[in-house]
């Protein structure tokens, strides 16, 4: 099939202006902000949150894992994080991700290397049909266990590892898988190296890159993300 081409003609130049343009809220960034804020130390403030159903599911999941989240006004929240490895729930607690693939995959990344996690993750009828095989195989490399064995869709029990080891990952086009590896690598021993030959969305690394103790990004023929994990005991 021949690719379609389009062109845009601008008849008049836009006159210079000095104003603030407010962009719409973003679901992917909103979800990541709550998840990352939950594993940061101290209070994170998030504004311009897209209060969609997927984001509300993220907030409820974080609260169920022991994170205090307070809404200050419309679209603004305070997240009281306690640091890496601080998420916790009683054995066999059920975390429902409803229809959010982003929440389910990124949270699995965090929980896989969080100590003393043994919970059940599920979703709505649509999410339960989606395969988690690639993600499960990746998190198994860190040391996490998923039950029943050889089952790759929700509901699933996740049993985290107390001795997660960083991995090397050749990323594909999935930003969710890449993000899950980044978040799992933060609480693993040693460094996690991600080689990205085909660029995908970079929300997660952009939210973390100002913390030079968390990760480093090198750009060239291929993008290399090095996640700095914990020092070996």
Query: Domain of 163: which CATH number?
Result: 3.65.10.10
Determine how many CB atoms are found less than 10 A away from the CB of residue 227.
Answer: 25
Single pTM value for the model:
0.90
Domain that holds residue 118: 27-228
Q: Which of 7-21, 48-62, 91-105 has the lowest mean pLDDT?
A: 7-21
For residue 4, is it within any domain? no
Q: What is the pLDDT of residue 221?
A: 92
Residue 109 within a domain = yes
Assigned domain for 203 exists:
yes
42: alpha, beta or left? (left if phi > 0; alpha if psi -120 to 50)? left
**What is the average pLDDT across 102-116?**
98
Residue 19: inside a domain? no
Looking at the domain assignment, is residue 91 inside a domain? yes
Number of domains in the chain: 1
How are the residues of the chain apportioned to helix, strand and coil, as percentages rounded to the nearest 5? 30, 25, 45
- Is position 14 within any domain? no
Cβ atoms within 10 Å of 190's Cβ, excluding its own: 16
- Above 80 in pLDDT, residue 169? yes
Least Cα distance to 230 among 191, 174, 204 occurs for 191
Q: Which of 209, 16, 199, 180 is nearest to 107 (CA)?
A: 180
Cβ partners under 8 Å of residue 139, min gap 6: 108, 109, 112, 146, 158, 180, 184
**Statement: residue 233 has pLDDT above 70:** no
Backbone angles phi, psi at 59, to 5 degrees: -60, -45
Instruction: Write the CB contacts of 106 (distance below 8 Å, at least 6 apart in sequence).
Output: 31, 32, 35, 176, 179, 180, 183, 204
Using DSSP, state whether 80 is helix, strand or coil: strand
User: How far is it, in rounded angstroms, from Cα 20 to Cα 164?
Assistant: 45
5 in a domain, yes or no?
Answer: no
Q: Quick one: average pLDDT of 37-48? A: 95
Residue of 79, 2, 82 whose CA lies nearest to 37: 79
| pLDDT for position 8 | 78
* pLDDT: which is higher, 20 or 142: 142
Quick: pLDDT tens for 185-194. Answer: 999 999 999 9
Is 233 among the domain residues? Answer: no
């Amino acid at each position: 099939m021949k690719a379609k081409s389009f062109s845009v003609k601008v008849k008049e130049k836009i006159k210079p202006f000095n104003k603030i343009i407010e962009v719409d809220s973003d679901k992917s960034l909103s979800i990541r902000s709550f998840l990352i804020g939950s594993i940061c130390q101290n209070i994170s403030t998030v504004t311009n949150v897209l209060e969609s159903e997927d984001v509300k599911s993220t907030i409820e999941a974080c609260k169920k894992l022991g994170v205090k989240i307070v809404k200050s006004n419309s679209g603004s929240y305070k997240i009281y994080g306690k640091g890496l490895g601080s998420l916790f729930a009683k054995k066999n607690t059920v975390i429902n991700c409803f229809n959010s693939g982003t929440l389910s995959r990124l949270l699995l990344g965090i929980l896989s290397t969080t100590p003393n996690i043994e919970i059940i993750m599920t979703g709505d009828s649509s999410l339960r049909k989606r395969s988690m095989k690639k993600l499960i195989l990746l998190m198994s490399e860190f040391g996490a266990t998923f039950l029943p064995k050889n089952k790759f869709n929700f509901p699933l029990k996740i049993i985290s590892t107390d001795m997660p080891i960083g991995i090397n990952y050749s990323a594909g086009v999935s930003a969710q898988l890449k993000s899950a590896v980044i978040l799992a690598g933060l609480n693993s021993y040693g460094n996690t190296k991600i080689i990205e030959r085909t660029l995908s969305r970079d929300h997660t690394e952009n939210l973390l890159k100002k913390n030079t103790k968390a990760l480093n990004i090198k750009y060239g023929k291929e993008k290399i993300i090095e996640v700095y994990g914990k020092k070996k005991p």
